[in-house]
Amino acid sequence: MVITMVKLSEEMKSAFSKVKIFPIATASREGMPNVVPIGFCQLVDDEVIWIADNFMAKSLANLKENPNVAIFVWGPETGGCFQIKGETEIISSGEKFEKMKATVHAAKPGLPAKNLIEVRISEVFQCAPGPGAGKKLL
């Protein structure tokens, strides 16, 4: 399946850069949800996010069955909140993987950096309460 990627706006990229921990949601093939806090979540460009798999168990199993993911972007400094949805690819070798691993080890040398989860952004939704809650932004 080919997904249409969307580009985050400058405002969204700025908000993303201010978040320290990202709630990341996955679901199994049967739809059983799982959400985990992820510290290594990096915006690579306007359309792609890298997530480092250091300790994923259920999330990784879910992504192998169902590549869809949702990322919640919110924090006191962000000036709002939004949800990014996308399709993932699990990468465990090669140039991208090695770059992610080096980034993780530079920040926290003891972490395993087992896999790179590459997210291709397909949709963005409003999360703030009010009349626009749930509105598709991109």
Contacts of 66 by beta carbon, 8 Å cutoff, 6+ apart: 26, 27, 28, 29
pLDDT at 117: 98
pLDDT at 114: 97
**What is the residue range of 31's domain?**
10-126
What is the total count of domains within the chain? Answer: 1
Contacts of 50 by beta carbon, 8 Å cutoff, 6+ apart: 40, 41, 42, 44, 96, 100, 116, 117, 118, 119
- 44: CATH: 2.30.110.10
30 lies in a domain?
Answer: yes
Per-residue pLDDT band for 2 (boundaries 50, 70, 90) equals low
Cβ atoms 23, 60 nearer than 8 A: no
**How far apart are alpha carbons 109 and 112 in whole angstroms?**
8
pLDDT digits (tens, 9 = 90+) for 71-128: 999 988 888 899 999 999 999 999 999 999 999 999 999 999 999 999 999 999 999 8
Contacts of 119 by beta carbon, 8 Å cutoff, 6+ apart: 48, 49, 50, 51, 69, 71, 84, 86, 87, 88
3 lies in a domain?
Answer: no
138 lies in a domain?
Answer: no
120 lies in a domain?
Answer: yes
pLDDT digits (tens, 9 = 90+) for 88-99: 999 999 999 999
133 lies in a domain?
Answer: no
87 lies in a domain?
Answer: yes
Cβ atoms 114, 54 nearer than 8 A: yes
107 lies in a domain?
Answer: yes
Mean pLDDT of the chain: 94
**How far apart are alpha carbons 124 and 84 in whole angstroms?**
5
pLDDT at 1: 53
**For residues 13-29, average pLDDT:** 96
